Amino acid sequence: MPPSEALGMELSGFSPRRVGAMVLRYWYLLRGSWPRILELAYWPTLQMILWGYINQFMAGNSSWVAQGAGVLVSGVLLWDVLLRGQLGVSVSFLEEMWSRNLGHLFVTPLRPGEWVASLMVMSLLRTLIGVAPAALLAIPLFGYSVFDLGLPLALFFVNLILMGWAIGLVIIALILRHGMGAEGLAWIAVFTLAPVSAVYYPVSVLPGWLQWVALSLPSTHVFEGMRAVLFDGAVRWDHLAWAFGLNGLFMAAGVTIFLRALHRARVRGALLQTGE
């Protein structure tokens, strides 16, 4: 069967109820363990506090930071949206690997597209649980609200989480291909993009050739757009357009790579032999 036909079959016949069933499965897991819920909010909150004090200190010692109120806090909170978005997809997938459940799941009528949709819903929930408390805590602690970014904040959020999902799908594909030996990628992959995403500094700081690399990432356009709002009070629609366009390519690539890896796993018999 041609791969394109296989991909088409896997994406057809979408059922919201089966998506809901998988979301329920991950929700049962999450609600059954308060340390897991606490862990979701722990790192974003800790990071926000750390960068909040750095921001406060730098505001008195750096004219650049002083001009853009809360630029570092906004950076860390939005960075966590990307990180939590990717982890939300990858960790929910890893739960199936750890519990050796893929063999059961794929003999039900569940389609891969429905499973991916459920991973995305859970990623959204996990990100909100993780980042929202940190964002709210920044208001009394540092007198800074990321929500002051207004409507662009929602567009930044959408772009970062889309990019997180695309990367998450590629990581799932790598784990399906290479087994649990590739599990570590789920925890570190996004960090390799941090230096070129220009989270805490303008992209112009990077060498010329690296700027081209940076601008091929949706995240870089989001953080450039964020600084434009904070420093100039302007919404840079060009950056947002680039971010959405690149995310379209990233998602198309992520879904294709994931479905091909799943198809190859069915060829190799990897769905029954998952786990440690």
Partner 1 sequence: MNQYAIKAEGLTKRFGSPTNPVVAVDAISFAVPGGSVTGLLGGNGAGKTTTISMLLGLLLPSEGRIEVLGADMVRQRHRVLPRMNFSSPYVELPHRLTVRENLTVYGHLYGLSGVAARVRELAAHLELTRFLDRPSGGLSAGQKTRVALAKALLNRPELLLLDEPTASLDPDTADWIRTYLEEYRRETGATILLASHNMLEVERLCDTVLMMRQGRIVDRGAPVALLARYGRGSLEEVFLDIARARGTASGADKPEAADAAE
Residue of 1, 2, 35, 140 that binds partner 1 (CB under 8 A): 1
Which residue, 6 or 194, is less far from partner 1 as judged by CB? 6
Closest C-alpha among 260, 269, 258, 266 to residue 93 = 258
Residue of 110, 128, 194, 210 that binds partner 1 (CB under 8 A): 110
Options 98-106, 197-205, 224-232, 254-262: segment touching partner 1 (CB under 8 A): 98-106
Is there binding between residue 180 and partner 1 (CB under 8 A)? no
Which residue, 15 or 56, is less far from partner 1 as judged by CB? 15
Are 162 and 250 contacting, i.e. CB atoms less than 8 angstroms apart? yes
Options 133-141, 165-173, 238-246, 268-276: segment touching partner 1 (CB under 8 A): 268-276
Residue of 11, 95, 179, 235 that binds partner 1 (CB under 8 A): 95
Options 17-25, 75-83, 208-216, 225-233: segment touching partner 1 (CB under 8 A): 17-25
Terminal C-alpha separation, the chain: 31
Options 58-66, 105-113, 224-232, 246-254: segment touching partner 1 (CB under 8 A): 105-113
Sign for the pseudo-dihedral over CA of 206, 87, 167, 128: negative
Residue of 3, 39, 57, 100 that binds partner 1 (CB under 8 A): 100
Which residue, 178 or 268, is less far from partner 1 as judged by CB? 268
Number of Cβ within 10 Å of residue 126's Cβ equals 22
DSSP string, 111-129: -HHHHHHHHHHHHHHHHHH
Is there binding between residue 99 and partner 1 (CB under 8 A)? yes
Output the CA torsion 84→90→94→95 (10° steps): 50
Which residue, 39 or 148, is less far from partner 1 as judged by CB? 39
Token code pair at residue 243: 């971010």
Which residue, 23 or 185, is less far from partner 1 as judged by CB? 23
CA 106 to chain centre: 25
Amino acid identity of residue 1, one-letter, is: M
Q: Measured from the CB of residue 2, what is the shortest distance to partner 1 in angstroms?
A: 11
Closest C-alpha among 225, 252, 95 to residue 160 = 225
User: Taking every pair of C-alpha atoms in the chain, what is the biggest distance, in angstroms?
Assistant: 65
Residue of 2, 4, 28, 233 that binds partner 1 (CB under 8 A): 28
